[in-house]
Every structure is written in structure tokens, then in C-alpha cells.
């Protein structure tokens, strides 16, 4: 059985859960308490030397970390990853954007706020992360004006990766009211056949 090492409230874990649901692939989930260091044990570090969920474990025991790498692995040969070379590269473009410009700002603020982790050092970083998070949302809004999905007018893993933390950005204090195209896209993704919410474990 395929196995997902996960943490229920994680958007990175949710990306994988959502794609597995859309693909109709059965899997078992192993929950870790990330606040208690459960992903930093020697046993877990053998699965992912970077000590973070999600980790996707294949039936033969091989483990793959990094949510967007897992998405690409699972989407290979399916409608969620284009075959055409340039379109595939565009998917990667948005996956890298998500990891560099979006997730470190929007997901991190959500985590700090919802887990009450705002010590002095993190307080000092809020303004910069807020500014960079809104800059990422601005980029998404401009791109989505006149488009239904991020690439090629079809639902791909780029949409899944960007949906995961954008739809819960409010929990990190981001106001999406000014982003009309983005909000339409969020609604479109949520109404895709087979969609599951982040709370469905």
C-alpha cells in the first residue's frame, strides 16, 4: 500500500492528498506531530534527511520528499501533467514559484499565527513576509485574469500546488477580497470533480 507521511493541517501534505484523491489512488496516512519534533527522529530522517513531511513511501519502501516533487511523480502520465515539453516546463515554473515566492511567506505566516509561535524574532519578520506574500498573490492575480487555470486552460499540478496554501491564506492574515480572478479560480478548483477539502484526512 502507498503510504503518505503527513501532518493533517499541512498545505504541503494536502497537495499530495488532493492529487491522490483526484487520481483515485488508495493510500494510508501516517500522522506526525510536527510541533513535537516527530519528523526529526533518526527513523524519520532515514525517510527524509530534511526532517519534514510530506514524505511519500512507495510499495517497495522507497521514499520521496518535497511536496511538488511528489506531485510531479504522481502526475506523470496523467491529465494533471502535460506531455508537451514547453507546457511541462511551465508547470515547473509555477511549482518553483510556489516554493520560492509563495509558500515561505503565506504558509509560514499561517503556521506561526495558528500555532501561536510569534516570538520577538518572528514578529520582526511579519512585515516582510506579509509584503512578499501579497506580491506573490499579485503575480497570481495578474496571471489568472482571463485564464481559467495556470497553464494551458487545464487543471494541472501547478494549480494544486498553488491552491493548497492560497485557499487558507486568510488563516495567515491575508485578505483576498481585492483578488477577483484569484477567488474565481479558487472556486473553480474547489468544484472540480473529486475535490477533497484540506480537512479530509
Ligand X SMILES: N[C@@H](CCC(=O)N[C@@H](CS)C(=O)NCC(=O)O)C(=O)O
Which residues in 9-28 contact ligand X (CB under 6 A)?
10, 12
Altogether, the residues listed in the chain come to a count of: 201
- Comparing CA positions, the residue from 191, 195, 180, 93 lying closest to residue 144 is 180
As measured in angstroms, the least distance from the Cβ of 36 to ligand X is: 9
Is 133 a binder of ligand X (CB under 6 A)? no
Is 48 a binder of ligand X (CB under 6 A)? no
As measured in angstroms, the least distance from the Cβ of 113 to ligand X is: 14
- Of 15 and 179, nearer to ligand X (C-beta) is 15
Counting residues that bind ligand X (by CB under 6 A) gives 14
DSSP-based three-state secondary structure for 152 = coil
Burial-class residue 159 by CB neighbours within 10 Å (0-12, 13-18, 19+).
buried
Per-residue x/- track, 87-116, ligand X (CB under 6 A): ------------x-----------------
Query: Could you please report the per-residue DSSP string of 99-128?
Result: IIIIHHHHHHHHHHHHTT---HHHHHHHHH
Query: Regarding beta strands 63-65 and 27-31, do their DSSP bridges make them parallel or antiparallel, or are they unpaired?
Result: unpaired
State which of residues 5, 17, 47, 52 lies at the interface with ligand X (CB under 6 A). 52
Phi/psi for 2 (5° steps) reads -65, 145
- Of 54 and 82, nearer to ligand X (C-beta) is 54
Are residues 145 and 185 in contact, defined by beta-carbon separation less than 8 angstroms? no
State which of residues 8, 51, 152, 173 lies at the interface with ligand X (CB under 6 A). 51
CA atoms within 13 A on the CB side of 62: 4
State which of residues 17, 44, 64, 66 lies at the interface with ligand X (CB under 6 A). 66
Binding site for ligand X (CB under 6 A): 7, 10, 12, 34, 39-40, 51-54, 66-68, 99
Amino acid at each position: 500500500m502507498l503510504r503518505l507521511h503527513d501532518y493533517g493541517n499541512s498545505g504541503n501534505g494536502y497537495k499530495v492528498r488532493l492529487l491522490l484523491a483526484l487520481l483515485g489512488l488508495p493510500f494510508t496516512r501516517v500522522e506526525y506531530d510536527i510541533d513535537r519534533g516527530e519528523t526529526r527522529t533518526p527513523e524519520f530522517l532515514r525517510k527524509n534527511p530534511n526532517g519534514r513531511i510530506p514524505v511519500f513511501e512507495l510499495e517497495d519502501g522507497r521514499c520521496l520528499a518535497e511536496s511538488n516533487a511528489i506531485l510531479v511523480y504522481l502526475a506523470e502520465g496523467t491529465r494533471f501533467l502535460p506531455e508537451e515539453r514547453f507546457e511541462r516546463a511551465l508547470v515547473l515554473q509555477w511549482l518553483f514559484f510556489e516554493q520560492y515566492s509563495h509558500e515561505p511567506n503565506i504558509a509560514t505566516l499561517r503556521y506561526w499565527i495558528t500555532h501561536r509561535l510569534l516570538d520577538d524574532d518572528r514578529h520582526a519578520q511579519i512585515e516582510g513576509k506579509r509584503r512578499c506574500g501579497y506580491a506573490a498573490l499579485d503575480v497570481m492575480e495578474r496571471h489568472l485574469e482571463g485564464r481559467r487555470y495556470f497553464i494551458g486552460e487545464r487543471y494541472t499540478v501547478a494549480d494544486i500546488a498553488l491552491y493548497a496554501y492560497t485557499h487558507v491564506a486568510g488563516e495567515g492574515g491575508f485578505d483576498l477580497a481585492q483578488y477577483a480572478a484569484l477567488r474565481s479560480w479558487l472556486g473553480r478548483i474547489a468544484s472540480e470533480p473529486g475535490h477533497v477539502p484540506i480537512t479530509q484526512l
